[in-house]
A and B are shown apart, each in its own frame.
Chain A
Amino acid sequence: MQKLLTLLQVNDSMFPIGSFTHSYGLESYVNAGIVHDNASAAEYARTMLEHSIYYNDAAFLYKTLALAGGKKGWDQLTELDTLVTALKAPYEIRDASKKLAIRFLKLANELKVYPICKKYAEAIQTEALHGHYAIAFGLYVKAAGITTEDALSAFYYNTLNGIITNCAKTVPISQTAGQKILFLLQPVITKLVNKQKDMDEQQLGLCCIGQEIKCMQHEKLYTRIYIS
């Protein structure tokens, strides 16, 4: 029960680390009129989960949860951090991942200190490592004893929840329509969680070119309410 409550707390969209300030390119899609109603918002959310999150942040989280312990594990973590930095090409997306990682670790370490999380936070602070949210989240929930399946399900859910909340604010879609999308995509999350372990290593970090361009264009948007 304690583990479930910890997961619910650190994975909550209201966990104050600033995740609500990022749209990860959605604001550019709304600005371009591509995401403009319930159907396009649902398509955006589903495609993000199946073709972006699955190969990227969820895969990075899965790799973090599978890290070995001790010195070997730290070397693997260093390598993973470098790989994720090299994959996150748009500046705002890379920076968002770093900022969320720093804030998450700072706050989570106030709740309960785990040596590996402290070490990662220090490495980010000294710029030895870049820092990424999926890795920071993975280190903490793994140390807290949460299972891989629960951690992944919660991560996908909160990512989707973030997309829906942003759609409700910017498209805008109604709260009811948003909750319907969230509910209807539950089987997709289950499917992705179940097949996360089967992902081909060669597909780690696959890029969705359209989305990446929209993330880059966000740097030049005339008016924007999100940081990314």
Chain B
Amino acid sequence: MINRDNSLTSRVDISCKREGSKTLLVNSYFDIPYKVVHYGSKLLHDHLEVMLMCYSPGVMDGDTLEVTVHSPAHTEMKLFTQSFNKVHPMKKGASQLMHVKVDEHALLQYLPMPTIPFKNAIFHMENLIDVAPAGHLIWGDIIGGGRIHSGERFEFTRLHSQTKVYCGGKLIFFDNQLMEPGKQPMERMLFMEGHTHQGTLLIVSDYAKAFKEELDEVLTEQFVDMSYGFTLCGKNALLIRALGESGEAMHEWLSNIGDMCWSFIRHHTEAVEPVPVAVPKKAVVKKKTTPATKKRTAKKVVAEK
């Protein structure tokens, strides 16, 4: 909806359903300037891959976006965004609210492209995520310091990002990040420490602890241009955080870990979480695998309860 001051109030709903081995897109809705489309061919794999597109130059003053994502039981969905989330100069501010629900034995992956707050941008992002005790979530988030290569470095006014994750109705993770370069030593120690981009990947799953043990073996050295850490931020939750210089490089790195985790979870759940209504497979479709998963033959592990 276009408001009288030319700002946009938009809503996007994304949901899916499981039919046999396939997850299909259902009940999707989008307002201008957004669009929800299949990411590539929908026949290529059993899981659903959808992309949230935005055909405006970015987020403008007064814009509000509300996104609802629902992953019903046993569905498998990967949600992407097409482009960087560019937050333009503004006086009042803009906001984005995401409601996410992941039901029992559903698997949802969301790794959006980085958010780039331009000079004088004011942006509030809120993510409210409800994961069922046997649901699986892979959730990413990258924030840049501005149009760095144009010489615009931490010149935005304010960016506040809040992510609350509930599991079985209990709050298990709360990430509260406020970036106000005018009021914080943004480039100094404890904050960005000379880096320009920060990234977060959260995994909520009964297999999070087992996946961390895999990462313990894989991520043994720090990179030259990126500083990262990972930890069990809850009984069934793994958090990876990084500081670096490139939004694209960080997105690719976190996507690789996300895909590794996706394969890891699927590898373990295929055996223990059969879909109640089994429909014979029509054709065996070769699935995409990441190089990381090709190399590894992960041993089966028991889910953490």
Contact = CB atoms under 8 A, between A and B. Distances in A.
A209 B170 contact: no
B193 A34 contact: yes
Interface stretch (A41-49, A169-177, A182-190): A41-49
Contact of B175 (A44, A83, A91, A207): A207
Contacts of A44: 189-190
Contacts of B234: 85-86
B185 interface: yes
A85 B164 CA distance: 12
B241 to A, nearest CB: 5
Prevailing SS type, chain B contact patch: strand
A214 B229 contact: yes
Interface string A77-112: 000001101110111101000000000000000000
B29 interface: no
Residue among A48, A94, A203, A207 having the largest count of chain B Cβ atoms under 10 Å: A207
B177 A216 contact: no
B27 to A, nearest CB: 30
Contacts of A52: 190
Contacts of A202: 160, 162, 176
B174 A83 contact: yes
A47 B186 CA distance: 11
Interface string A197-228: 00000111111111111111101100000000
A86 B172 contact: yes
A83 to B, nearest CB: 6
Contacts of A47: 185, 188-190
B160 A213 contact: no
Contact of B231 (A85, A91, A209): A91
Interface residues of A, number: 38
Nearest to A213: B229
B188 A43 contact: yes
B192 interface: yes
Contacts of B227: 213, 217
Nearest to A29: B189
Nearest to A203: B178
Given A203-B178, A209-B191, A216-B241, A90 B160 contact: no
A210 B193 contact: yes
Nearest to A204: B176
Given A51-B184, A86-B171, A86-B174, A209 B243 contact: yes
Given A47-B189, A51-B184, A209-B191, A82 B171 contact: yes
Contacts of B222: 217
Given A40-B189, A209-B191, A210-B191, A216 B172 contact: no
A35 interface: yes
B231 A90 contact: yes
Interface string A26-44: 0001000011000010011
Contacts, number: 101
A89 B178 contact: no
Contacts of A205: 174, 176
A210 B189 CA distance: 7
Contacts of B39: none
A210 B171 contact: no
Nearest to A90: B231
Given A213-B228, A216-B241, A206 B233 contact: no
Given A51-B184, A89-B233, A83 B171 contact: yes
B176 A206 contact: yes
B192 A209 contact: yes
Interface in B146-166: 160, 162, 164-165
B177 to A, nearest CB: 5
A59 to B, nearest CB: 11
Sort A-B residue pairs by CB-CB distance and give the 5 closest, nearest first: A216-B229, A89-B233, A86-B174, A208-B190, A213-B229
Interface of A: 29, 34-35, 40, 43-44, 47-48, 51-52, 82-83, 85-87, 89-92, 94, 202-217, 219-220
Given A51-B185, A86-B173, A207-B177, 20 more contacts: A35-B189, A47-B188, A48-B190, A51-B190, A82-B171, A83-B171, A86-B172, A89-B175, A89-B233, A91-B233, A202-B162, A203-B178, A206-B178, A208-B190, A209-B198, A209-B243, A210-B191, A212-B229, A213-B229, A217-B228
Interface of B: 160, 162, 164-165, 170-178, 184-185, 188-193, 198, 220, 222, 227-234, 239, 241-243
